[in-house]
Structure 1
Amino acid sequence: MTQTKNSMTLSSQYGFYMSTFGVVLLLLWLGIFKFTATEAMAIKPLIANHPLSSWLYRLLSAQTISSIVGVIEILVALLILLSLKFNQLRKYTGIGVCIIFTMTLSYLFTSPNMLRYVDGVPVTDFFILKDILFLGYGINLLQSANK
């Protein structure tokens, strides 16, 4: 029984580190991409149609807003890595991860034409749906911070 329990623990650790690597990789990659004009224009309809962020375009350029989002994504990715070493950071990191991915998931409901029907089946920008998994990762970080 001890061998099974230890292998399950080891398996859980591998799963956690694989998930962590995936979230960090994605946040770094997308965060860096936010500094390009292509991504600044790609995210503009999402941010401009969201009630919590639409006001930003009255103050800042599309590129500045995209760059700010990129900096936030990169900082949270770095916090995730630091939280592997410093357990006390997990709570704040989990909050950051949950905010980022809750916000991006909310674009499904605030962006025009995000949900549509194709051959009677509802479809969306499936790229955003990956954020359901990442939101779960953030919730797990919050839970592990309380242990």
Structure 2
Amino acid sequence: MQEKNILDQLRKNGYKITPQRQEILRTLQTDPRPQSAEDIYRKISAYYPNISLDTVYRNMAILQELGIVSKLNFQDGKNRFEINHADGHHHHHLVCIKCGDAKVVDLCPFKSLDKTKLAKEKKFEILGHSFEIFGHCAACRDKLGKHEI
């Protein structure tokens, strides 16, 4: 999503555009990898030493509620966030179970699924889905002595 569109959406919903909120958005937009609230806090606390981790969490909840970011939950139990695409395009991730690094997989195995038919058959309202593949990244494989795949 474009920063201007995000700021307009925040204003339209009655939220102020604070320097901290802008920095949180910039941090999410400049690093395409999913980031935890702690990661974001570490990056921006150098510029805004008075910001608290709670402020980052509150902002992430607001951004998620407005559909600006998605919350991802990987195996390590740590929620991560990433900016949603304006066109509704989504992707999935390869996630390293050792270091937590996540690489984008720009495909969706559920794209061809007839979600309407499935929802009717199962009497289930589908709100979304997630699909992650877990393993070891190249750096962690090297550290573990697993050089070949």
- TM-score per shorter chain, which class? under 0.3
State the TM-score, normalizing by the size of structure 1: 0.27
State the TM-score, normalizing by the size of structure 2: 0.27
Larger RCO of the pair (alpha carbons < 8 Å, separation 6+): 1
